[in-house]
Amino acid sequence: MASQVASKLDEVLAEGRPALVGYLPLGFPTLEKSVEAITTLIDNGVDIVEIGIPYTDPVMDGPVIQAAAQTALDNGTRPKDVFHIIQQIKQTHPATPILVMTYYNPVLRYGVDKFAEELAQAGGAGLITADLVPEQAGEWIAAADKYGLDKVFLVAPSTPPERLKLVSEAARGFVYAASTMGVTGVRAEVGNAAEKLVYQTRKAGAKHVCVGLGVSNAEQAKEVGKYADGVIVGSAFVKPLLNESQPWEQRLKTLSEIVKQIAAGVANSRGTLAKPH
């Protein structure tokens, strides 16, 4: 079974641009409204969706995503809800790959094989496991391979070459290159460590490398898109939805405008450069 995510990346790269990967948390502010928000991402230029499972101890999440996740938890959102949400979105947007981004503990508690089976049945593409390294991922790798799911692992600027090779061999879909050390969030600049990391990860054997953490506007997206196969945006998409002084429809409208701006930056990132290998 072909990788949903790799196939989409190949398709988009063949057009001469990187992919725009958009993150939103499951169940924020409610399950129904999170479907509307995710659909807004896709309708305005996001190629691949990441749905984050809210977690009680989000050590890698910045304040924006933490605030949204806490609201979702307070409203009773549970990991199993992600399967129903994916099914709903795939009914109207069957061509958009949907990855689940999660800490590993909720998957362990649910049952790794059971989680993988239900994710595949719902039409999900795979998992981004933020806190799981390949050496400790044997059960998840076996389940993902069994059900044809993508396995996205993270690398950072501090990751040594031998680990880059290990992660590149274990990953399926893409390798997630964290542009900086630290938590998620909107930043003034992405930093030049990301480009070097992408180069080194490709050199280590990764076919596709996408960059996240800190990409928050069209200019940054354009810069990252020059060298990455995909540009991952999270906090910048979550932030307008947190503005409770505005009605929900207005928040969605603001989100759609931000997505369009960043999608335009991504689309223009390659300019007259040759199409990527």
User: Active-site residue 50, yes or no?
Assistant: yes
Task: Write down the catalytic residue from 50, 118, 223, 229.
Answer: 50
User: Active-site residue 81, yes or no?
Assistant: no
Query: How far apart are the C-alpha atoms of 107 and 91, rounded to whole Å?
Result: 25
Residue 217: count of CB within 10 angstroms of its CB: 17
Per-residue DSSP letters for the chain? ---HHHHHHHHHHHTTSPEEEEEEETTSS-HHHHHHHHHHHHHTT-SEEEEEPP-SS-TT--HHHHHHHHHHHHTT--TTHHHHHHHHHHHH-TTS-EEEEE-HHHHHHH-HHHHHHHHHHHT--EEEETT--GGG-HHHHHHHHHHT-EEE-EE-TT--HHHHHHHHHH-BS-EEEESSSS-----S---THHHHHHHHHHHTT-S-EEEESS--SHHHHHHHHTT-SEEEE-HHHHGGGG-TTS-HHHHHHHHHHHHHHHHHHHHTSSTTSPPP-
- Length of the chain measured in residues: 277
Q: Are 197 and 227 in contact (CB under 8 A)?
A: no
Task: Write down the catalytic residue from 47, 61, 81, 229.
Answer: 61
Query: How far apart are the C-alpha atoms of 36 and 197, rounded to whole Å?
Result: 34
Tracing tokens 């898109």 back to the chain, one arrives at 225
Active-site positions? 50, 61
